[in-house]
Amino acid sequence: MILRATWTQIQRSKPPTRPLSEIKRNREEVPPTMAEPSALIGFGLANLSLDPSSGEEPQRSELPSSSDSSLDTDVDEDKRLSLELGKLIQVVNDIKHRTPLDNSYGPAGHFNIINSHPVATGSFFQVRKLDGVSTSWPLVAKYPRLQATAKGYGITKTSLQSIKLEIEALCHEPLRKHANIIDIYGLGWARLSALYDHVVPVLFLEFATHGTLRHYLSDNETTPAERLRLGRDVGQGLKALHASGIVHGDLKLENILVFDKGDGTVIAKLADFGSTMQLTEQGFLQRGGTRPWNAPEWQQSMEPINQNLIDVYSFGLLVWTLCIDGETPFPGLTLEEIDLRKTQNLVARDAIQSVTDYYEFYKCHVPPKTEVDQFDLYMVAVACPRNVFEHTLLLEPTWRSLDSALEGMDPEACYRYSRNLVL
């Protein structure tokens, strides 16, 4: 903590910085005027009118067809939301039949605010940790956040679309058991309130023992080697995501979770897929993204084959932030000034200078005992990150390469490359 405080003091000696936009932990409850999800409904029941305590067979509600002529611009918000919810229900039912998910820990009626407590609240989701659940691992329930300003029954179309994307990504078979993707253990349904028949899906996910990657860096003293390893974790998860044709769309420290591995070390996993984009044959604008952690072209239409390169740039920014122990990589700059440096292709140079400065700072406060230790420190603190920046923080998207960046993060490979240059 002392080391971080000293580095922060050095950064603050530079010109005053305007606060950057960051997602912070929000432990606030849903406003009391809004209804909490009160009951878990059996997984995969495609209905909009269901009383779990009645004992009656669920009745299917008619969902408006996408071809219905009544769905014009003047249709009311409830019908639009019902249509979106209908699409989501179809996705969940399809996943139910092709993906084995364990629901034994979440029988009907067991999910409510009494046996859970809030963990985090985001733009579209509410997350609560389940208390007293008889499983060998702690779980959280994640469901759409109710909005006081939303029409209809307190949920927005964007929220439903986001949770649909999250479900599709996490239940995609190649990603379900990937070491660097958060695990999903089940799906359920929750009634929004006693006043409405509408239900929404609830995702049951593994609980991150150390919170987000930003929280982990803030709460723990870490070494450059450990931070580089966490960066490789993120890169491996991102590589698996791209291999499945999915773009994360909002890569930053707050969307990476840290878990205990059980051997005294930790592992980083990608989470929060509400802004993901699945690659198609048509180009489209990115839904998510948070400044300044975005690529220069993040709001431009791109060829589908290049859309994953938006993530690659954000990955470079994430590694840069990791290498300086979670501090802002853009001290003293406004968002507009940051965007300008990106378009001038100066960010890679800034990143290399920044990690070099941090290496000198760290070496003074934690002196290496031998020349070998100093060499190893230089490799993980400067040489490997420099390889990442040279393959990620580039203005031209087609010059970026996640595979090359990941290869450059391996100290052994980096050493062999440096030795070949000398020879």
Tokens read off for 179 = 């070491």
Q: What is the DSSP string of 228-273?
A: HHHHHHHHHHHHHHHHTTEE-S--SGGGEEEEE-SSS-EEEEE---
* Residue 389: partners with Cβ closer than 8 Å, 6 or more residues away: 316, 319, 320, 347, 348, 351, 352
Give the closest residue to 258 by CA, choosing from 218, 290, 230.
230
The answer to whether the CB of 358 falls within 8 A of the CB of 7 is: yes
C-alpha distances in Å from residue 325, one per residue of 175, 356, 359, 419: 29, 13, 11, 28
Nearest CA-CA partner of 221 in 326, 363, 370, 356: 326
> Parallel, antiparallel, or unpaired for β 246-247 and 199-206?
unpaired
CA end-to-end span of the chain, whole Å? 41
- In this structure, what DSSP letter does residue 34 have? S
Number of neighbours of residue 201 by Cβ within 10 angstroms: 25
What are the angstrom distances between the C-alpha of 134 and each of 107, 110, 217, 249?
Answer: 12, 12, 31, 35
- Other Cβ atoms within 10 Å of 83 Cβ, number: 19
Residue 219, both tokens: 């709460």
Render each residue's pLDDT in the chain as its tens digit; 423 residues.
666 666 666 666 655 443 333 333 333 333 322 233 333 323 322 222 223 333 333 333 333 344 444 445 445 666 777 787 777 878 877 877 777 665 544 433 345 566 788 888 877 788 889 887 666 788 998 888 776 555 555 677 777 778 888 888 898 888 988 999 999 988 887 776 666 666 777 888 999 999 999 999 999 999 999 999 999 999 999 999 999 988 898 999 999 999 999 898 999 999 988 776 655 455 554 556 789 999 998 777 777 778 899 999 999 999 999 999 999 999 999 999 999 999 999 999 999 999 999 999 999 999 999 999 999 999 999 999 999 999 999 999 999 999 999 999 998 877 766 655 443
- Full-prediction pTM beyond 0.85? no
Contact residues for 369 (Cβ-Cβ < 8 A; gap 6+): none
- What pLDDT sits at residue 173? 87
Using CA atoms, how far residue 348 sits from 8, 120, 209, in Å, is: 22, 33, 33
C-beta separation of 267 from 236 below 8 A: no
CA atoms 285, 401, 349, 236: torsion sign: positive
Please name the helix (run of DSSP H) or strand (run of DSSP E) that holds residue 416, with its range, or none. Answer: helix 411-422
Which residues, other chains included, contact 297 with Cβ-Cβ below 8 Å and sequence gap of 6+?
310, 397
Domains for the chain: give ranges and CATH numbers: 40-206 (3.30.200.20), 210-422 (1.10.510.10)
pLDDT at 8: 66
Assigned token pair, 302: 């791109």
Give the distance, in angstroms, between the CA of residue 109 and the centroid of all CA atoms in the same chain.
Answer: 29
Helix or strand (DSSP H, E) at 375: helix 371-378
